A and B are shown apart, each in its own frame.
Chain A
Amino acid sequence: MMFRSNPPSINMTVVGFGQAGSRIADKLAAYKMRDGNSTYNVLALNSNDGDLEELKHITQENRVSLKLGGLGKNPEKAMSILEENSQAKETLKQFITQKVRTQDKLVLFIAGLGGGTGTATIVKAIEEFHEFHNMGIVKNALLDIRKSTDDSDFKANFKKYQVQAFNKVKDQFVKIGVIATIPVRSDGPDVLRQVNEFASKIWALAKNPAKGIAFVNFPDNQMFYDRFVSDPNSQKQAKNYRDFANDEISSIIHEINTGTNGSGTSVIFDSNDFRRIVMEKEGCFVINRLEVDYKSVSNSDDLSKLFVKSIESNNLHDPIALIETNDNGDKQYAKVHHIGLLGIIPPDLNRFGSSFIDNAKEDVVKHLPLQGTIFSGFLVEPNNYKISVYSFYKTDALPSRLSKGLVKEYEEYMAKQRSITFKEDSIQQIAVTSEEDIDLGLDLSDFGIDSSTEPEEPDENIEWMDFSNIDPNSIN
Chain B
Amino acid sequence: MEIQLHDKYINVEFSSEQVSMFTDIVEEDLAMKRILLTIAQHADAHKNESDLNSGISIKQLSEKVIIKRKVQKDGKSKKYTISETNIDRKHVERIVDSLSNMTLCYFKSFHPTKVIFLTPRGRSIATELIRRQIAKPIPSSKE
Contacts and interface: CB of A to CB of B under 8 A. Distances in A.
Contacts of A458: 131, 134-135
A475 B133 CA distance: 8
Interface string A165-187: 00000000000000000000000
18 contacts: A153-B15, A156-B15, A458-B135, A462-B131, A465-B127, A467-B130, A468-B41, A468-B47, A470-B37, A470-B40, A470-B41, A470-B130, A471-B41, A472-B38, A472-B65, A473-B34, A473-B66, A475-B129
Interface of B: 15-16, 30, 33-35, 37-38, 40-41, 43-45, 47, 64-66, 126-127, 129-131, 133-135
A463 to B, nearest CB: 8
A465 B130 contact: yes
B41 A462 contact: no
A80 interface: no
Interface residues on chain A, size class? 10 to 19
Contacts of A466: 44
A472 B41 CA distance: 8
A476 interface: yes
Given A153-B15, A467-B130, 9 more contacts: A152-B16, A157-B15, A460-B130, A467-B37, A467-B41, A468-B47, A470-B41, A472-B64, A473-B66
Contacts of B38: 472
Contacts of B43: 467
A475 B33 contact: yes
Contacts of A463: 127
Contacts of B65: 472-473
A473 B85 CA distance: 11
Interface in A41-76: none
Contact of B37 (A152, A460, A472): A472
Contacts, number: 53
Closest 4 CB pairs of A and B: A472-B37, A468-B44, A467-B40, A468-B45
A464 B45 CA distance: 14
Contacts of A156: 15-16
Contacts of A476: 30
Nearest to A160: B13
A458 B136 CA distance: 11
Which of A153, A466, A473, A476 has the most CB atoms of chain B within a 10 A radius of its CB? A473
B2 to A, nearest CB: 24
A470 B131 CA distance: 12
Contact of A475 (B34, B44, B135): B34
Contact of B34 (A152, A465, A472): A472
A459 B88 CA distance: 36
B93 to A, nearest CB: 18
A8 B106 CA distance: 58
A466 B118 CA distance: 13
B30 A467 contact: no
Contacts of B135: 458
Given A467-B37, A472-B34, A475-B34, A460 B131 contact: yes
B134 A460 contact: yes
A467 B126 contact: yes
A468 B44 CA distance: 5
Contacts of B64: 472-473
Interface in A230-260: none
Given A467-B37, A467-B41, A462 B127 contact: yes
Given A475-B37, A475-B129, A476-B30, A467 B44 contact: yes
